[in-house]
């Protein structure tokens, strides 16, 4: 039985609201789901698992129609899905009794349900969220279906407010695969036949690194699966070193070159380190506007004229601190430590 496992697609979300790429990001979430459908057709995938939060909130009727249309393109694959905390099935939800095309199965009860695919000898178990918080460890009650059939569990949660999960306990239940959702970072646990596939696309600046889906197979030999990167882009964090000689123009060129090297499409969190000229600060806001930068954090330190400082502060703790440091040669590391110290002392002194 060949499967693909996705979760946390968060359709309907508008990531990075207010940034120029925001609307494109919202579209990209749909595009990548479309790519998954294509992959299912190409690789003749038997089951597509969606482990919750397909939508970012209560789906609009229009959105359900669009998703159903996408799934109707599946030539061979059946879809089994549950609702998560974001798209939990409320009283008035359009999820309820939506007329899905025949290859789509939503396990819509808030109690465990099982669906059996005879031709695949596979049973899939799961339940949907009907409220946005569930604090009970519901997966302790999960159980395998009939012996001799492949057993898959769809599960959403893993933190305090969203069904806390005891991984060893769940692993001991002996499912052939547990398709987990809710945590946006992929986490494969092959020894336990469990995996968080992570969000299909990164949804905000804290989703650093690659995103995609899990593709695998269950057969008589057991279960195998791998992570497949699929997201249109990633959020990456880059450390850039500056010196007192670095100008805004030079920094922009360096950033441009580095961002091109790591992928023009990606969105960057920039961390500046090194030292700057305290008399000629760089305008970081201006630099951020060059594009695809969501945040610049400045961890650089002012480059001090140690001799001048020593003279100025010869009667206070800063002077003593510098004296103590200068007794031994200034290696790069000691210089860094000296500057950190001066920085802290100057700040304490109210500068
Ligand atoms: Mn969730």
Percent of the chain with pLDDT over 70: 99
- Distance from residue 340's CA to the centre of ligand 1 (Å): 41
- Distance from residue 311's CA to the centre of ligand 1 (Å): 59
Residue 331 has pLDDT above 90, yes or no: no
- Under the banding of pLDDT at 50, 70 and 90, the label for residue 339 is confident
Q: How far apart are CA 217 and CA 167, in angstroms?
A: 21
Q: How far apart are CA 32 and CA 39, in angstroms?
A: 10
pLDDT per residue as tens digits for the range 173-213: 999 999 999 999 999 999 999 999 999 999 988 899 999 99
Residue 228 near residue 212 (C-beta atoms within 8 A): yes
Residue of higher predicted confidence among 225 and 324: 225
- Distance from residue 212's CA to the centre of ligand 1 (Å): 16
Name 114's bridge partners.
125
Q: How far apart are CA 208 and CA 226, in angstroms?
A: 19
- Distance from residue 247's CA to the centre of ligand 1 (Å): 44
Report H helices in 19-124.
Answer: 22-42, 61-72
Within the chain, all domains assigned CATH 3.60.21.10 are found at 2-229
- Distance from residue 183's CA to the centre of ligand 1 (Å): 7
Q: Find the helix or strand (DSSP H, E) in which 335 lies.
A: helix 332-348
pLDDT per residue as tens digits for the range 238-248: 999 999 999 99
The sign of the torsion formed by the CA atoms of 57, 59, 62, 65 equals: positive
- Distance from residue 54's CA to the centre of ligand 1 (Å): 9
Residue of higher predicted confidence among 181 and 275: 181
pLDDT per residue as tens digits for the range 117-164: 999 999 999 999 999 999 999 999 999 999 999 999 999 999 999 999
- Distance from residue 64's CA to the centre of ligand 1 (Å): 18
- Distance from residue 207's CA to the centre of ligand 1 (Å): 14
Give the pLDDT confidence score for residue 336 in this predicted structure: 78
- Distance from residue 156's CA to the centre of ligand 1 (Å): 7
- Distance from residue 53's CA to the centre of ligand 1 (Å): 6
Give the pLDDT confidence score for residue 349 in this predicted structure: 65
- Distance from residue 293's CA to the centre of ligand 1 (Å): 27
Residue 35 near residue 230 (C-beta atoms within 8 A): yes
- Distance from residue 73's CA to the centre of ligand 1 (Å): 26
Give the pLDDT confidence score for residue 183 in this predicted structure: 97
Between the two ends of the chain, the Cα-to-Cα distance in Å is: 67
Class of residue 340 by CB neighbours under 10 A (exposed 0-12, middle 13-18, buried 19+): exposed
pLDDT per residue as tens digits for the range 277-295: 877 888 988 888 888 999 9
- Distance from residue 56's CA to the centre of ligand 1 (Å): 9
Percent of the chain with pLDDT over 90: 79
Q: Chain-centre distance of CA 257, in angstroms? A: 25
Give the pLDDT confidence score for residue 47 in this predicted structure: 98
Q: Chain-centre distance of CA 86, in angstroms? A: 16
Residue 350 has pLDDT above 80, yes or no: no
- Under the banding of pLDDT at 50, 70 and 90, the label for residue 271 is very high
- Distance from residue 46's CA to the centre of ligand 1 (Å): 25
Q: Which long-range contacts (CB under 8 A, 24 or more apart) does 42-45 make?
A: 43/2, 43/215, 44/2, 44/76, 45/2, 45/3, 45/4, 45/76, 45/77, 45/215
Q: How far apart are CA 115 and CA 113, in angstroms?
A: 7
Give the pLDDT confidence score for residue 302 in this predicted structure: 83
pTM of the predicted model over 0.75:
yes
Give the pLDDT confidence score for residue 107 in this predicted structure: 97
Q: Check: CATH 3.60.21.10 for 2-229?
A: yes
């Amino acid at each position: 039985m060949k499967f693909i496992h996705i979760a946390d697609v968060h359709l309907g979300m508008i990531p990075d609201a207010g940034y120029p790429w925001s609307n494109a990001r919202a579209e990209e979430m749909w595009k990548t789901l479309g790519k998954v459908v294509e992959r299912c057709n190409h690789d003749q995938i038997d089951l597509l698992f969606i482990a919750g939060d397909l939508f970012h909130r209560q789906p609009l009727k229009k959105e359900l129609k669009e998703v159903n249309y996408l799934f109707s393109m599946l030539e061979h694959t059946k879809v089994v899905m549950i609702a998560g905390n974001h798209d939990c099935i409320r009283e008035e939800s359009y999820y309820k009794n939506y007329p899905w095309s025949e290859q789509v199965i939503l396990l819509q009860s808030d109690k465990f349900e099982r669906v059996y695919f005879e031709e695949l000898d596979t049973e899939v178990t799961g339940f949907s969220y009907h409220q946005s918080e569930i604090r009970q460890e519901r997966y302790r009650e999960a159980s395998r279906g009939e012996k001799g059939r492949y057993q898959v569990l769809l599960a959403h949660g893993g933190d305090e407010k969203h069904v806390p999960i005891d991984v060893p306990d769940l692993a001991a239940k002996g499912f052939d695969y547990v398709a987990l959702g809710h945590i946006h970072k992929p986490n494969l646990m092959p020894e336990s036949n469990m995996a968080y596939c992570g969000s299909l696309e990164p949804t905000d600046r804290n989703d650093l690194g690659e995103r995609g889906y899990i593709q695998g197979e269950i057969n008589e030999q057991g279960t195998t699966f791998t992570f497949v990167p699929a997201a249109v882009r990633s959020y990456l964090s880059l450390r850039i070193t500056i010196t007192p000689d670095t100008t805004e123009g030079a920094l922009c060129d360096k950033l441009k070159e580095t961002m091109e090297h790591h992928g023009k499409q990606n969105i960057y969190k920039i961390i500046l380190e090194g030292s700057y000229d305290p008399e000629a600060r760089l305008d970081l806001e201006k630099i951020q506007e060059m594009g695809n930068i969501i945040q610049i954090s400045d961890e650089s330190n002012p480059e001090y004229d140690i001799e001048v400082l020593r003279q100025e502060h010869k009667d206070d703790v800063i002077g003593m601190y510098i004296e103590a440091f200068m007794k031994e040669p200034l290696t790069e590391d000691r210089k860094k430590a000296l500057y950190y110290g001066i920085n802290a002392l100057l700040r304490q002194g109210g500068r």
